[in-house]
Every structure is written in structure tokens, then in C-alpha cells.
Amino acid sequence: MSEVQTVEGPVDAGSLGVTLVHEHVRFRDEAVAAEWPDRYDERWELEAALQAVGDAKQRGVHTIVDPTAMFGGRDVHFMKAVAEQTGVRIVPCTGIYSYDFLPPYFANRDADAMAEHFVGDIERGIQGTEIRAAFLKCAADAAGVTENVEKIHRAVARASVQCGTPIMAHSMPAVATGPRQVEIFAEEGVDLARVQIAHCGDTADVSYIEGLIAQGVYVGLDRYGLELFLPIDKRNATAAELLRRGHAERLMISQDFCATIDWFPPEAEEAFASQGLIRNWSMTLVFDEVVPALREQGALDGSSFETVFVDNPRRWLSGS
Ligand SMILES: [Zn+2]
């Protein structure tokens, strides 16, 4: 069987086991962190990551796919420390997480030049290490597929075609970015069976999600706990309906949890929780609440659990 790159080196794809396909061991702005390092407590960040990943491990998780790319503070040294200290495999990516902005460095270089940076991460290693990227990341959000976002998508697509590397694309169902994202990948000749459109679970519109599945891509029901986008009951109803309609082989279930995130001041998390914008957001919510609820509704059994949490991540990452 083929190999999958992790922060501790390549592993046999068949050994990935139960996989959370979208979690962040740390999320922060690398520019702010580089300019004001004293505003960050690395030891506290590491402890939070070890706690979150350790909790997931207790629920049987063997592998975590971490789509932290440029602008999320990707740091393979940090990720490797978390993997080594927890015994959970972490799968890193390359790419650019931007809803529109590009620094002049990339604004003044074309998509092929951008793709060449991604290929370097895939073929040689990330950040001066021999840790190689296992997949490509890009994003489209409220602004839609802007010119810059399209450029990143085309660069990601070209690296995917060149290296056979899978893609995860952050999407925003509220403005229906998914179909256009898939269209760009198709135009570039990407194998759509290696594409995952993330955050589809933010909508309860099953037919929108089925439209994407019909293109052959995986869809992420991957923001459990982020009630501000969609509450858990509606997420579960969507998941159950998709499972009943026979789409288990196209679904990815995860939480998009960030063990730490610098987007808001520290007091905000409590405010978000008290306002109901997040609820039990963690790396274990899907095992503590989602899987039991889907089982109770008769939508998920042992075999479809295996499909969603073991087979789909493996197939998406390795192609087999
Ligand atoms: Zn994410």
C-alpha cells in the first residue's frame, strides 16, 4: 500500500487508523507571532495541543490531519513535538490560507511560480526540514472566489497534478463557493477523487452538498462545535440524511478545532461560549456526541463508522 507523509516521516497508508481529518494543533498569525513573540506563550500553546490531541487519542484517534498552511502559522517543528509527545500521527500540508489577500511576493508572481513553492514542500520538505507535505490547502470564504483566491486554487491544482497530491479546500456554503472551486480544479485536470471540499456541513442544504458529491469530491462535515455557522442538531440531521442516501464514502467528519487560536483576545472564548456561538468545541466532540447521536438515529453503524473515519481519510490521502 502507498505511503502518507506525516511530521514524523512517511507511514503506510493502511496504518492510519481512526483519523480526524480537520483539526489544528495551533492556529496563529505567523507575522504577528514573528514580530511580537512575547505575546505568545509557547509552553501554554504546547500544553493545550497535547491536551487536545491526548483527549482525541483516548477516543481511539490514531491520526490527525492538520490543514494549517501559510497565514495559519504552520510550524512543523511544533507539530512534530505534539506528535512525538502524544504518539498520535500528524499529517501536514502546504498551501495558502487566504480569503483574498496575497503579499506582494506572491501577488507579483504567477500561479506556476506559486505552485513551485508548494511542490518544494511536497518533494523536498517544509521549512528546512525533511518533513514533506501530504496534501494541499486553499480557501474561499465570504468574498467568494476572487482573482487572488482563484490564483491560489490554480497553483494548488497544478501542484496536485504534478505530484499526485490531494487537496483540501476551505469553502463557504453560505455564498456557495464550492461549485466554482471544484470547477477550477476540474479545469486544471485535478483528479476530483482526491479533492475534499471542507466546511460543507455549515449548511443544512442537502441538495447543495449532493451537488458537490456528484462531482466526485469528498465533503467535510467538519465544524462540529462551531454553532455560529450551524448548530449540532442541524449538522447531525444533515449528516444522517447524507448517510441514509448512501453517501458514507464521500463524507469526512471532524471539528476544525484549534487547540489555541490567536484570532480573538483570551476573554472572547468564554463570551462566545456564553452566547452559544461555540459549544463543547474540542477534538472529542464528534466521538462524545455526534457518533452516538447518529448511531441512535440508525444512520451510522460500525461499518459506516469505519468508512468515514478510517477508509475515507486513507483513500483521500493515498489514493488507495
Ligand atoms: Zn481549519
Using an 8 Å Cβ cutoff, are 40 and 51 in contact? no
Which pLDDT score is estimated for 47?
Answer: 98
Q: Is 143 helix (H, G, I), strand (E, B) or coil?
A: coil
Which pLDDT score is estimated for 159?
Answer: 98
Q: Print pLDDT tens along the chain (320 aa).
A: 699 999 999 999 999 999 999 999 999 999 999 999 999 999 999 999 999 999 999 999 999 999 999 999 999 999 999 999 999 999 999 999 999 999 999 999 999 999 999 999 999 999 999 999 999 999 999 999 999 999 999 999 999 999 999 999 999 999 999 999 999 999 999 999 999 999 999 999 999 999 999 999 999 999 999 999 999 999 999 999 999 999 999 999 999 999 999 999 988 888 998 999 999 999 999 999 999 999 999 999 999 999 999 999 999 999 99
- Backbone phi and psi for residue 64, each to the nearest 5 degrees, phi listed first: -120, 125
Cα 146 to ligand 1 centre (Å)? 20
Cα 268 to ligand 1 centre (Å)? 19
- Residue 233 to residue 254: CA distance in whole angstroms: 15
Cα 221 to ligand 1 centre (Å)? 12
Scanning the structure block, which residue is given the C-alpha cell 476551505? Answer: 170
Report residue 180 CA to chain centroid gap: 19
What is the number of other CB atoms lying within 10 angstroms of the CB of residue 161?
Answer: 15
Cα 233 to ligand 1 centre (Å)? 21
Cα 30 to ligand 1 centre (Å)? 16
- Residue 316 to residue 135: CA distance in whole angstroms: 9
- State the DSSP H helix or E strand holding residue 44, giving kind and residue range, or none if neither: helix 42-58
Q: Which three cell numbers stand for residue 249?
A: 464514502
Cα 67 to ligand 1 centre (Å)? 6
Cα 116 to ligand 1 centre (Å)? 23
Give Rg (Cα) of the chain.
Answer: 18
Cα 207 to ligand 1 centre (Å)? 23
Using an 8 Å Cβ cutoff, are 310 and 18 in contact? yes
Cα 68 to ligand 1 centre (Å)? 7
Cα 73 to ligand 1 centre (Å)? 12
Using an 8 Å Cβ cutoff, are 231 and 203 in contact? no
